[in-house]
Structure 1
Amino acid sequence: MSLISILLQAAGAGQSQWSGILMMVVVVAIFYFFMIRPQQKKQKEIQKAREALQTGDKVITSGGIYGKIKEIGDIYMLIEIADGVRIRVDKTSIFASSEDAQQK
């Protein structure tokens, strides 16, 4: 038997409103521990990796553009994608360091 069915049987017929509330709490807890919490941890790791980037590091943007960081501003990075060709991208659009991506 599953845990939910045991809890529902233990609640009894007269307390059906409590069993519904209990089931909703269990569903919310499952969503939190298996979906929301791991995603939050992953976002924190990505943020730390972006903050650790320095001028001269090779990166990949979320659009798939490979380049080398030439300048880092408050909300943007200036990336050189070819000799003399530089583009300004938002910091949040940096997907990964190209050294990290090549190692995987």
Structure 2
Amino acid sequence: MATDFLISPAHAQQASPAGGGDMLFSLLFTALLVAVFYFLLIRPQRQRMKAHQQMVQGLGEGDEVVTNGGVLGRITRLDEQFVHLEVADGVEWQIKRDMVGGVMPKGTYQGGGANA
């Protein structure tokens, strides 16, 4: 009688079927998770990167831009990789093209006496 307590209930249960439904559910769930991740994170980021690249390629002299750091200026010269910004009277900065955050409407930048 004392040995009845030592027998595990797991040995008394019948074997379950192959469990193919669980594997299918797990594959579908993983595919759904990857799809959601793609459409909510990866795709929008790629679109933002593409729009930023087009904006950077379309920069021209005289454009008024804001840098990623929030500095407003007017483009005075363009190089292959760098932009020369007039940020105040007689103050010109050289920054990488990729650091331009956006193009502002004409008249936003009020500095620089000759071009204002």
- Does the alignment reach a TM-score above 0.5? yes
Counterpart check, 1:52 vs 2:93: no
Root-mean-square deviation (Å): 2.0
Q: CA deviation at 1:52?
A: 0.9
Counterpart check, 1:17 vs 2:9: no
Give the number of equivalent residue pairs: 90
Query: SS state of the match for residue 105, structure 2?
Result: helix
Give the TM-score normalised by the residue count of structure 2. 0.70
Counterpart check, 1:30 vs 2:41: no
Identity of aligned residues (%): 31
Q: CA deviation at 1:18?
A: 2.4
Structure 1 unaligned runs (5+)?
Answer: 1-12
Selected match of 1:41 from 28, 42, 47:
47
CA distance in 2, matches of 1:42, 1:71: 26
CA distance in 1, matches of 2:60, 2:41: 32
CA distance in 2, matches of 1:27, 1:43: 23
Q: Residue 3 of structure 1 aligns with which residue?
A: none
Counterpart check, 1:90 vs 2:92: no
Q: Deviations over 1:26-82 (max 9, x none)?
A: 100111112211221121111111111101111100111111101111111010111
Q: Residue 74 of structure 1 aligns with which residue?
A: 80
